[in-house]
Amino acid sequence: MSKQAIKVEHLHKSFGKGDTFVDIIQDASFSIDKGELVALVAPSGAGKTTLLMMLGCVDKPNSGTIYIGDEKVYDNKWLTKETRKIRREKIGFIFQAHYLIPFLNIIDNLTLLPQSNGTKEKVSKKKARELLAYFDIADKEKAMPSQLSGGQNQRVAIARALVNNPQIILADEPTAALDMQRSVAVVKMLKKIAIEQGVAIVMVTHDDRMLQYCDRVMKIEDKKVVFD
């Protein structure tokens, strides 16, 4: 097992044809190691979400290669019909809004996905409770999302991204809806997860104050992916 969590080579992405053609990412090649927290910074509309969705095997590149761990999953086409399986087993997503299901309590929000993937209730609940304890919200398992603060809900959203033991977490502006103090708490938590669990994390952020907690800063400049 190598330390590589994600590798892309000559990744290219555009949208549309003719008059509506837009080039978003040109010839991106980089790799991210297990245990790394990488910030992704670029102006609005530069392609951050698009890049994240390609790394998450949601959005299809036009060309290039993508490796998830040591497995080549894309080589000018998906190499598997089951990109869903890759996402489910290897990748956790966190978004700006927490997207918890409002009519399910916290523990049921956490166990919904693993149970729908066939994980036994006992097993998924045990894992969910471990995560809630890890995030200092063990006492909230029966609470509804509306009863938690923004910061607590975002911690639940991070716990949900971790419940399937992913190798990679892709976080799209996870702190955008939080104040400074809660944002720092969330980023420090992501850093801790990266170190302790060897997860590779790519986090989109607009807040330069968060960069000090990240190992590297990835930017999209003139459609090229560069590192600071």
Pick the closer one to Mg ion by CB: 59 or 215: 59
The long-range contacts involving 156-159, CB below 8 angstroms and separated by at least 24 positions, are 156/98, 156/100, 156/106, 156/109, 156/110, 156/132, 157/94, 157/95, 157/98, 157/99, 157/100, 158/94, 158/186, 158/189, 158/190, 158/193, 159/110, 159/128, 159/131, 159/132, 159/134, 159/135
Of the candidate spans 16-24, 93-101, 109-117, 143-151, the one that interacts with ligand ADP by CB under 6 A turns out to be 16-24
Pick the closer one to ligand ADP by CB: 1 or 19: 19
CB of 188 to ligand ADP, least distance (A): 24
CB neighbour class for 128 (10 Å; exposed up to 12, middle 13-18, buried from 19): buried
Find the binding residues for ligand ADP in span 127-166 (CB under 6 A). Answer: none
Pick the closer one to ligand ADP by CB: 16 or 118: 16
Find the binding residues for Mg ion in span 20-59 (CB under 5 A). Answer: 48-49
Find the binding residues for ligand ADP in span 47-106 (CB under 6 A). Answer: 47-50
Residue 16 within binding range of ligand ADP, rule CB under 6 A: yes
- 50 interacts with, out of ligand ADP, Mg ion, none, CB within 5 to 8 A per kind: ligand ADP
CB of 210 to Mg ion, least distance (A): 16
3-state secondary structure of 166: coil
- 46 interacts with, out of Mg ion, ligand ADP, none, CB within 5 to 8 A per kind: ligand ADP
**φ/ψ of residue 200, rounded to 5:** -90, 130
Q: Within 10 Å of residue 98's Cβ, how many Cβ atoms?
A: 20
- Binding residues (CB under 5 A) for Mg ion: these are 48-49
| Interacting residues with ligand ADP (CB under 6 A) | 15-16, 22, 24, 42, 44-50
